[in-house]
Amino acid sequence: MKIGTFVALVISGLAATGCSAQSPAEPAAAAAAADQRARPAPASPGTYDLSFLYQGVPVQTLVVGERVLLKATVSDADGPATRGTVTFQYCSRPGPTQDITRVDEAPSAECDAGSAKWATLQSVEVNQFGVAFGGMGGAPQIPRSIGFRFLFRGKNGGVASGESAHLDFTWTAIQ
């Protein structure tokens, strides 16, 4: 290759580089955009539904001695939460627990009024359908209503952390 041809190629390459659309500020902007893409997306507001099941069927009341299953369902506009933890809670009066003559479980109105506090039953990871199940250690032996709710703690974006509405479940006397 002749020197004149080589010099012409180098000069045309430099001219093309100097006239490119990329400015000296663009590498920093590109790095900032890449950093933005690497962060998890902000969590979406969710819906947090609490329901009660007995032998797989939705119920609102049972007779004393029967166990109810708590079901938490968490989702948002994009679908079910696939990562996160549900913490089931019940409304609890101050004083001893596990005392059949002086029950600590209370309706949610007592937690609303401040005479009782929300106590944790258990924490469970949601499944791929945005559902978690929980329950009490035993079945009430005295007729009463107990308030329940759950707290959801989302993980890595997805559905935002939140709280279900509280619901009361009632155990009635055996007829």
CATH for 109: 2.60.40.1930
Q: Is the pLDDT of residue 154 over 50?
A: yes
Residue 163, pLDDT above cutoff 70: yes
Higher pLDDT, 152 or 175: 152
Are residues 85 and 145 part of one domain? yes
Amino acid letter for position 12 = S
7 with 84, same domain: the answer is: no
d(CA 2, CA 100): 103
Q: Of 23-32, 42-51, 71-80, 110-119, where does mean pLDDT reach its minimum?
A: 23-32
Domain shared by 53 and 110, yes or no = yes
**124 and 80 belong to one structural domain:** yes
pLDDT at site 98: 65
Domain range for 29: 3-38
Shared domain check, 59 and 34? no
User: What is the SS3 assignment for 29?
Assistant: helix
Does position 160 have pLDDT exceeding 90, yes or no? yes
**Burial annotation 8-43 (CB, 10 A radius, 16+ → b, else e):** eeeeeeeeeeeeeeeeeeeeeeeeeeeeeeeeeeeb
In this structure, the answer to whether residues 110 and 88 fall within a common structural domain is: yes
pLDDT in tens, 40-68: 566 778 999 999 999 999 999 999 999 99
Same domain? For 28 and 88 the reply is no
Q: Is the domain of 81 the same as that of 100?
A: yes
Find which of 17-26, 90-99, 145-154 is predicted with most confidence, using mean pLDDT.
Answer: 145-154
Q: Is the pLDDT of residue 34 over 90?
A: no
68 and 26, same domain (yes or no): no
pLDDT per residue as tens digits for the range 84-94: 999 999 999 98
pLDDT tens digits for range 135-144: 988 888 889 9
pLDDT at residue 164 above 80?
yes
**Same domain assignment for residues 98 and 33:** no
